[in-house]
Amino acid sequence: MSRRALTPGTAVLLMLGIGTVAVVGLPGVATPLEPAGSLGGVVVDEHGAPVEGCRVALFQADELELVEWTSTDSRGRFAFQESPAAFHAFAAPDEESGLAGAWCLARASALAGRIELTLPSASPLTVTATDEQGHPVEDAEVRVYDHRDAPVVLARVPTDAQGHAHVLAPRDAWIAVLGGSSGRLSTWSFTRDAEADELTVVLPVARTLTGRVVDGDRAPLEGVVVSAWDRRADGWHRDGYRLSNADGSFALEVATDHATLLRAADPSGAHLPALRELAAAEPAEVELALDAGDPLEVHADPRPTASPLPDDARVWIWDGPDHGWSWGAFPAPDGHLTARADTACQAALAPLAGGPPLAVAAADPAAPGPLELHTPPTEPTPLPDAPGTR
């Protein structure tokens, strides 16, 4: 066990939902004692088997300070002696295990119960970051995201002087390369060649764009996700995202010589999304106003199909070219959802990981009432083609 202070860069990370492991005693077999401590848990692989000898770190959530680390026993169990009021925990398996790490994020100790961490199978991946001339970019941050449920960071590794970062990543992981202190744009790769163990990305020079997010009365909005996209010869590329601050402010690294699309989406669903395209020469200070819209009741009914909904299926509202896509929201168990939208909008039931929509429906201003989302009986209905969608 040891302590030391760390200062990793802050990031928007989501909780990882995982399953449990039952430890059943057998007659005549002694059961090892549960590790003693104030905060305990278990680490398993994706098949539910315990992971022995896995290092588990405990972080104080507010200051991002490493409080304590320990290791799992033969049954994958571990215990921490300390319990900060709010914490993150990270399981770091042995590099030869063929498993990726996993986070448990933003948990309150008083409500934590048993910490459960599931490590997905992974393979080595070498990520190389270069500039436009092919020179290596040092100190870019490579992140591996598991998106099987809510996206969660599995690994964060800086590139070395040769622009390389070596990570363990599931075959279907999302890979992000963040410019960070290098002064360059970030980039995302949402697909990975199943046979490839190398990925090379180009990080163009970036400029800083600042602005504010406000409501229709120009009051600041906090916690709105603002993402930036730049138009290149092969389409739109995602540059990065930030949450707006308490005063509505945000700062993003964007392209210096390409048009930039800003997309603002309110995760609370209280406001319509907003889109704004900026030319490369426009000033680096913008204001994004999010309208309230009108309440819209949506019924997502998957029952006509024999297949269950994917775990990450969400309802997305398309409010036209001036607003774009809303923040995806999970319907209630009965399929109902109340959203904010314009009188003429389109809704889609689709998985976070992409692919064809499960259901699509358009609102009819002349026929008020719930918008019924039913699975298309034949060909999938194409969704609106807009940059920065979903």
The whole-chain average pLDDT of the chain stands at 79
Task: Give tens-digit pLDDT for 205-228.
Answer: 888 889 999 998 999 999 999 998
**Stretch 117-146: mean pLDDT, rounded?**
91
**Stretch 337-352: mean pLDDT, rounded?**
80
From the candidate CATH numbers 3.40.430.10, 3.90.1150.10, 2.60.40.1120, 3.40.50.300, the one assigned to the domain spanning 123-202: 2.60.40.1120
Domain 206-290 class in CATH: mainly beta
The whole-model pTM stands at 0.68
* H-helix segments, the chain: 109-112
* 1-121 and 206-290 agree in CATH topology: yes
Query: Phi first, then psi: what are they for 116, rounded to 5°?
Result: -125, 125
Q: Tell me yes or no: is domain 1-121 CATH 3.30.1950.10.
A: no
In this predicted structure, the answer to whether residue 142 has a pLDDT above a threshold of 60 is yes
Who's near 141: CB < 8 A, 6+ residues apart?
Answer: 9, 156, 157, 158, 159, 177, 178, 180
**pLDDT reported for residue 96:** 84
Burial of 231 (0-12, 13-18, 19+ CB in 10 A): middle
* CA distance linking residue 301 with residue 54, whole number of Å: 43
Q: Which residue has the higher pLDDT, 62 or 251?
A: 251
The count of other CB atoms within 10 Å of the CB of residue 19 is 9
Residue 128: pLDDT band with limits 50, 70, 90: very high
In this predicted structure, the answer to whether residue 294 has a pLDDT above a threshold of 80 is yes
Amino acid letter at 60?
Q
In this predicted structure, the answer to whether residue 372 has a pLDDT above a threshold of 50 is yes
Who's near 82: CB < 8 A, 6+ residues apart?
Answer: 38, 39, 58, 67, 68
Residue ranges covered by each domain of the chain = 1-121, 123-202, 206-290, 294-374
